[in-house]
Every structure is written in C-alpha cells, then in structure tokens.
Amino acid sequence: MSFTPGQKAAITRTISEADIEAYAHLTGDLNPLHMDPEFASTSRFGERIAHGMLTAGLISAVLGMHLPGPGGIYLSQTLTFLRPVRIGDTITATAEVTAYDAERRRLRLRTSCVNQRGEAVLDGEAVLLVDPTQRGS
C-alpha cells in the first residue's frame, strides 16, 4: 500500500433542488434559508442556498469511494465555508494527499470544493485511518 503526496481524486456533481430537499428532510435541517424562496430572497444571498454540509458530503464521497476508497475510516475533517452553493451550481470536490504515515496508517489530505466558475466554495483537511490492504488509487 502506498499513498504519495500530490496524489488526487475528484468527483463532480450539479446540486439540484431535489438534493437540497432530500438533505433537509434526511437531517431535519429545514432552515428557511435552504427551503423557503421568499425567506431566502431577503437574505444576504438573495436566493436559496445548499446546506454547507451537503457540499462537504461530496468530500466524503471522494474519500469513501476513490482516495483512499472503500474501507477508509474518517478520523477528522476541518471545513472552512468560503462561498454559498446555489441550486444549479456544479461542484467539484477534490482530495489531495499531503502526508501518509504508514506506521500509524494515517492519511492526511487537503480537501476542497470549487464551483463551475473555478471559485473555491469550501476548503479543509481530512485525516483517515487506512486498512493495510488498501492501495492508493
């Protein structure tokens, strides 16, 4: 098993109204900023926006399915939300290996999400425990 600094994986998804509604109902976060067009129109954003954690969930998908992939166990994740994600935005979530401690089986990755205009909407860092049988992709 080896993971090397600079190794990357990414996924891209367009955020739909259905995604926001499903996330809201799944989590119980029915904040009108996400759910009510009239309320959201009076906010600083002028329209409904996606939940920040919905966007962060795309990072989880990269880590769980691609790098390190199935079997990786989240130990920590920092998140800084930089811009709102709106309905119809296409978000690319990326994870990049910054360090790997083979002895402790700890993988450290820079995590980020950008929109279709290349603007950063989220930045952070993840640490995962990796199984000795996993291979870097």
Terminal Cα-to-Cα distance of the chain (whole angstroms): 10
- Report pLDDT for 133: 66
Mean pLDDT of residues grouped by 10 in the chain (137 residues)? 92 98 97 97 97 97 96 96 98 98 96 98 98 61
- Report pLDDT for 62: 98
Helix residue spans in the chain (DSSP H):
17-27, 32-35, 37-41, 52-65
Kindly list the structural domains of the chain, giving each domain's residue range(s) and its CATH number in brackets, ordered by start: 8-15+50-129 (3.10.129.10)
The SS3 assignment for 119 reads coil
ω into 68 cis (within 30 of 0): yes
The predicted model scores a pTM of: 0.92
- Report pLDDT for 2: 82
